[in-house]
Amino acid sequence: MLKEFETVNASVPAADKVRLDQHLSMIREVERGLQAGGAGGPVSCDQAAGITPIADHLLHTNFPAVGKQQADLLVLALACGLTRVASLQYSYARSIERLEWLSTQGCGPCGTIELDHHTISHTEDSMSNAQMAVMNRWYAEQVAYLVGRLDAVNEGSSTLLDNSLAFWCSEVSYAATHTFKNIRAFLFGTAGGKIKTGKHLDFAGAAHNKLHVTFLNAMGVPATSFGDSGFGNGPLSGILV
């Protein structure tokens, strides 16, 4: 594989050399992560399907390492052209993951995280609310890591993040009551210049369906509805260029 890389690298323009070098660096980083988890072996775009997971990936303390490895592989798959669409979900919607390894230092009412995420989200007291804030911050940091990895892939005059649209959300707006009103949605990247960035927009309870119409339009699909059209047609205003 390395000989093939060197052959191709010697025959492509300078801009493509930069991209190939970045791909190789990402492969090496994933390989180092696998070896640290006890699963060695070289990794390449052609061998991605055969990657051995981190040993005992169900162990609570391995949760952060597994998530980071999945983020690295997601970016690698996009950068290598293995897929155009990817998703990353931590645990189930009703997560029973215990984030007991998460530091609560500096959080006065937090105490030690001992219960699972789902139970904490339905326990409305000062300690549980503080623990939810700490956990939500950790998940936000993982999104920031993923977005940073996308932005680190150079694609000539832009980055992989510039040419992508990353969407982060929850299926409910407030976990304790499973409320759907005012769901927050975070968008990263411009989908190749189709999305306006640096904005905070309030759509006053507009149907979530319209956001998905916005995504379709950004990808060149001339749709006006998504799912139940009784909720109204899209797209949402102020997002598309």
* pLDDT per residue of the chain (241 residues) written in tens, 0 to 9: 566 767 777 777 776 777 777 767 766 665 554 443 333 333 345 555 455 677 887 788 888 988 988 998 898 888 888 889 999 998 887 888 889 888 888 888 898 899 999 999 999 899 999 999 999 999 999 999 999 999 988 888 889 999 999 999 888 888 888 888 888 899 999 999 999 999 999 998 888 899 999 999 999 999 999 988 787 788 999 999 9
Q: What is the pLDDT of residue 205?
A: 84
Q: What is the pLDDT of residue 33?
A: 45
Question: In terms of Cα–Cα distance, which of 141, 142, 111 is closest to 129?
Answer: 111
DSSP category for residue 60: G
Contact criterion met (CB below 8 Å) for 96 and 118: yes
Answer whether the bond into residue 64 is a cis peptide, omega within 30°: no
DSSP category for residue 49: G
Residue 168: beta bridge partners?
186
Q: What is the pLDDT of residue 47?
A: 52
Q: What is the pLDDT of residue 41?
A: 32
Q: What is the pLDDT of residue 46?
A: 56
Q: Where are the alpha helices (DSSP H) in the chain?
A: 2-9, 14-36, 63-79, 117-121, 126-151, 209-218
Contact criterion met (CB below 8 Å) for 74 and 146: yes
Task: Extract the tokens encoding 160.
Answer: 């992989």
Residue 77, Cβ density class (10 Å: 0-12 exposed, 13-18 middle, ≥19 buried): middle
CA distance 144 to 157: 22
Task: Extract the tokens encoding 12.
Answer: 């492509």
3-state SS assignment for residue 121: helix
Contact criterion met (CB below 8 Å) for 31 and 43: yes
Q: What is the pLDDT of residue 186?
A: 95
Neighbours of 177 (CB within 10 A): 10
pTM here is: 0.76
